[in-house]
Amino acid sequence: MPPRKQASKKSLKTEPQIDQNSSFTPQNFEDELKKLAKQAKGETWLKRALEQVRVYGKAASILAIIGVYANVSLLSLSPVYGGIPAAVWHSKVIMAACFLGWSANLAFRRLLPTKTTLLLPLIAAYIPMVQFYLFKFSGSFTANWGPLITELLTLFPLMVLSVSCVADILEEGDLSGLPKWVADCAPGLGSYSFYKFIELLSADQLQAQIGRSFLQTRVGLELVLAGTYTIMAPSKLLLFVIPGLLHAAFFNTHVMTPMATQALNSTLLSQGWSLVDRWESVTGYISILDSHKDGFRVMRCDHSLLGGEWTKLPKYIVGEPIYSVFTMLEAVRLVEVAEKVPDNEAKALNIGLGIGTTPSALIAHGIDTTIVEIDPVVYDFAVKYFGLPSNHTAVIEDAVGYTARIAEEESQKFDYIIHDVFTGGAEPIPLFTLEFLQSLNTLLKPDGVIALNYAGDFTLPPLSTVVRTVKEVFPSCRIFRENPAPSEEQLKKEGRDFDNMVIFCRKTTDGIAFRRTVEQDFLRSRSRQHFLAPKYEVDNKVFLTGDDVGIVRKNDTSKLGNWHDQTGLGHWAVMRTVLPKEVWENW
């Protein structure tokens, strides 16, 4: 007899297996069929579950990319428009894009020549180039409309098509086990909630890690995200991204490469400027620029200046600052107190560094100076390009956390405190709250003096709010502005009175009086001979009163925050008169 063929593996899996020791009965056969049916059902459930994981995973990936991109878009606008004007329209653009992308996904599917997923890498690859050319019109667009126009032509289409892709993908989702009204709402609400979560999470991460490598710079992040879209949707259409990538590699001066810096300098030199160094950091885009025509050097942070020095004047002990306000801060040494401490025994706390004008002078006078600066790049550039002396204590940390910690320890007290912080047209609110100022009061010695620099519009409530908050903590204060107050005609013409002011305060009720200056106070500096002694005192009648003016508290910052948009736009207009537009637009 011919040998029997072995049953195939497939037949072993599909045919009912009968126990040889048991009798073949209808009950046994029925049990075996039920067993196989249960197994088939389990395999179907697993396959369906894996398919749902694929669907929701792909949707979540696209939402995560666009959530990060929303923050990168803001970062890319800030060097040209400043962080505050860049954010005015940002949330509205996102809401409009989400609504259009979700509601019109069927129309996009019919009208577009290819799948929307395949278009995402193309749009993302060209965004750096489109931004580069749009920024050249920022002077015409102004900070009121420039950010809106730029994001409508860059972030908006990318977000619309990304949301549309998510809507298409989620149509494959199985929500049959949920009530109908839940199944109808869940995809849209869930997608937006997940997007907002990623947007908020990535904002903190980007700020903490910006500038650590080329891929963690503004344009670097845009290229990384474009590459991520490419991996998700590979196709022959990717050949069309080559021009965008070539522009980023060879022509985009915003890219943090030596070749791009060289190209940028060729543009700036025609305007009498040159870029010395630049990098991106936690407070913004930081750069050092030289004006060859007028002979000074400045440090820039986004669309603002942190200070500058004259380079054509001889530098003896300290540099010659181009802004008198930083010299005026040094007048804390001139305030008369009952028990004056010699400079070589005094201690000073300097919050906010800039180029280091004031702390350099304090150190030169022999004062033991502690500098608190949150941005490591600002500190490094101040040392490297403005000669910040090394004999000081450097604290690279958030001032709020640092002062709270040492105030609790009560191990340090200071004769002088310099409060000099400013970011792009608005104050960093946590550093002007009642609670923070009270911690500074704790750190100040009984006969100590504090000087606070504040830049703002004298016609708006924030300045009056800051003054009222300061006076709530320090009973004796006098206020001086950097420049003379404008005439009524000038004020009417400009529509604003934006200026720096310095508030000198003590923690006693003895009042503020300045001693006469002597030659040693000037440190052989011409600027200090003219500007060290405060000149333009501000009468208390100048400051506004009313419902818009109050005290800034840690848990209630609206008194300042509500005015940030207007003050930021005003500061942008002022900065555009200080440096040529080519400096701002080309980074």
* Whether 539 and 402 share a structural domain: yes
191 domain residue, yes or no: yes
Phi then psi for residue 530, to 5 deg, are -95, -35
Which ranges in 82-154 belong to alpha helices (H)?
83-88, 90-103, 105-111, 116-134, 138-152
The boundaries of the domain holding residue 205 are 46-250
41 domain residue, yes or no: no
Q: What type of residue sits at position 435?
A: E
* Whether 328 and 442 share a structural domain: yes
77 domain residue, yes or no: yes
Q: Which of 216, 250, 284 is the last residue of a domain?
A: 250
Tokens of 451: 């000087």
Domain count, the chain: 2
Task: Classify 52 as helix, strand or coil.
Answer: helix
Q: What is the CATH number of the domain that holds 215?
A: 1.20.1250
* Whether 71 and 183 share a structural domain: yes
Is the distance from CB of 290 to CB of 297 less than 8 angstroms? yes
List the chain pLDDT tens, one digit each, 587 residues: 444 444 444 343 444 444 544 556 766 766 776 776 666 555 577 788 888 888 899 999 999 999 999 999 999 999 999 999 999 999 999 999 999 999 988 888 888 888 888 999 999 999 999 999 999 999 999 999 999 999 999 999 999 999 999 999 998 888 877 788 878 888 899 999 999 999 999 999 998 899 999 999 999 999 999 999 999 888 888 999 999 999 999 999 999 999 999 999 998 998 899 999 999 999 999 999 999 999 999 999 999 999 999 998 888 899 999 999 899 999 999 999 998 999 999 999 999 999 999 999 999 999 999 999 999 999 999 999 999 999 999 999 999 999 999 988 877 899 999 999 976 566 688 999 999 999 999 999 999 999 999 988 888 888 899 999 999 999 999 999 999 999 989 888 888 888 899 999 999 999 999 999 999 999 999 999 999 999 999 998 888 777 778 889 988 888 788 888 888 888 899 899 999 899 999 98
Q: What is the CATH number of the domain that holds 503?
A: 3.40.50.150
Within its chain, how far is the Cα of 177 from the centroid?
43
Q: Which of 250, 283, 313 is the last residue of a domain?
A: 250
* Whether 194 and 89 share a structural domain: yes
275 domain residue, yes or no: no
25 burial type by CB count under 10 A (0-12 exposed, 13-18 middle, 19+ buried) = exposed
Which ranges in 16-115 belong to alpha helices (H)?
26-81, 83-88, 90-103, 105-111
* Whether 338 and 486 share a structural domain: yes
- Residue 378 and residue 353: Cα distance in Å, rounded? 8
56 domain residue, yes or no: yes
* Whether 244 and 335 share a structural domain: no
* Whether 226 and 345 share a structural domain: no
* Whether 420 and 556 share a structural domain: yes
261 domain residue, yes or no: no
Cβ neighbors of 414 (< 8 A, separation 6 or more) are 347, 348, 349, 370, 443, 444, 445, 448
Q: Which of 200, 219, 250 is the last residue of a domain?
A: 250
* Whether 357 and 216 share a structural domain: no
* Whether 222 and 352 share a structural domain: no
* Whether 229 and 336 share a structural domain: no
* Whether 329 and 235 share a structural domain: no
271 domain residue, yes or no: no
365 domain residue, yes or no: yes
